[in-house]
């Protein structure tokens, strides 16, 4: 599949990795439907990107609302070719703190609902569109790209909920690829390391430096544009399927 001319659906597309993906694919001649929260910068971004970009406000935890938002995007841009899920939150809390406080159940539930169930809801809606497209036997219908994290493999202290959600995203990649292979849909997962998003830049410089100490080479945070370029590579490389790619400068997180 070529990026040029394809219709992308980017969940969490108003900022960070999703915004970089939306900008990159528009430059390469694609169309993009952006999903993000009502108070996000999604509409401003779509206006900036032009007539080939459409924004719909949605909470990815709400399956029926996601379906409605995707239907709107299909009506404006056409059936979905590529679905990129980047919507998510990073939460930290120890199971048991030094003061004896246990992990809040609502925080665990919210993390799983946004990161994991949200990814499922967006994927389910996109697959409905991809599977409607006519295709000859052996012809590709679509590409699904999920966002995990290296915390799925090297979860740090306080990342119980976050690591669990991202490990589950990694875990569903291969069975989903096996489910969808017969209808010509590929599934890949990207597991980023420390990325230079607004969240990282909001931290003090000494904390930013500590976060990238585990990077082997290059010794810096990854750029959102590098995530976006990997998305494009996956889209255009048909043999990439059912795997997770670590985008992490060979980092292995310490406790």
Helix (H) or strand (E) holding 176: helix 160-180
Residues 124 and 140: their CA atoms lie apart, in Å, by 18
Per-residue pLDDT tens digits for 1-42: 999 999 999 999 999 999 999 999 999 999 999 999 999 999
- Catalytic residue (choose from 162, 227, 231, 248): 162
Averaged pLDDT score across all residues of the chain: 93
Quick one: pLDDT at residue 95?
Answer: 86
Quick one: pLDDT at residue 116?
Answer: 97
Q: Name the percent of the chain lying above pLDDT 90.
A: 76
Whether residue 162 lies in the annotated active site:
yes
Residues 127 and 69: their CA atoms lie apart, in Å, by 14
Residues 104 and 58: their CA atoms lie apart, in Å, by 26
Quick one: pLDDT at residue 71?
Answer: 97
Tell me the fold of 7-247: Rossmann fold (3.40.50)
**Residues 62-81, mean pLDDT to the nearest whole number:** 97
Quick one: pLDDT at residue 202?
Answer: 63
Statement: residue 249 has pLDDT above 90: no
Q: Name the percent of the chain lying above pLDDT 70.
A: 96
Quick one: pLDDT at residue 66?
Answer: 98
Residues 189 and 185: their CA atoms lie apart, in Å, by 14
Per-residue pLDDT tens digits for 202-217: 666 776 777 788 788 9
């Amino acid at each position: 599949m070529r990026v040029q001319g394809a219709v992308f659906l980017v969940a969490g597309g108003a900022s960070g990795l999703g915004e970089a993906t939306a900008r990159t694919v528009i430059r390469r001649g694609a169309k993009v439907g952006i999903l993000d929260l009502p108070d996000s910068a999604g509409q401003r971004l779509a206006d900036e990107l032009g007539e080939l970009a459409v924004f719909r406000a949605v909470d990815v935890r709400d399956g029926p609302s996601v379906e409605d938002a995707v239907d709107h995007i299909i009506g404006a841009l056409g059936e979905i070719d590529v679905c990129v899920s980047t919507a998510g939150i990073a939460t930290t809390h120890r199971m048991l703190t030094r003061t004896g406080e246990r992990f809040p159940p609502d925080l665990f539930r919210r993390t799983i609902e946004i990161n994991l169930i949200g990814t499922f809801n967006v994927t389910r809606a996109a697959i409905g569109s991809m599977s409607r497209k006519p295709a000859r036997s052996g012809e590709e219908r679509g590409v699904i790209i999920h966002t995990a994290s290296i915390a799925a493999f090297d979860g740090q202290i306080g990342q119980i909920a976050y690591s669990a959600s991202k490990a589950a995203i990694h875990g569903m990649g291969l069975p989903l690829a096996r489910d969808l292979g017969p209808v010509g849909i590929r599934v890949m997962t990207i597991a980023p390391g420390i990325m230079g998003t607004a969240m990282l830049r909001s931290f003090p410089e000494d904390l930013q430096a500590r976060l990238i100490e585990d990077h082997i080479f290059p010794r810096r945070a990854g750029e959102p544009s590098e995530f976006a370029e990997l998305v494009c590579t996956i889209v255009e490389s048909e043999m990439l399927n059912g795997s997770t790619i670590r985008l992490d400068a060979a980092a292995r997180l310490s406790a």
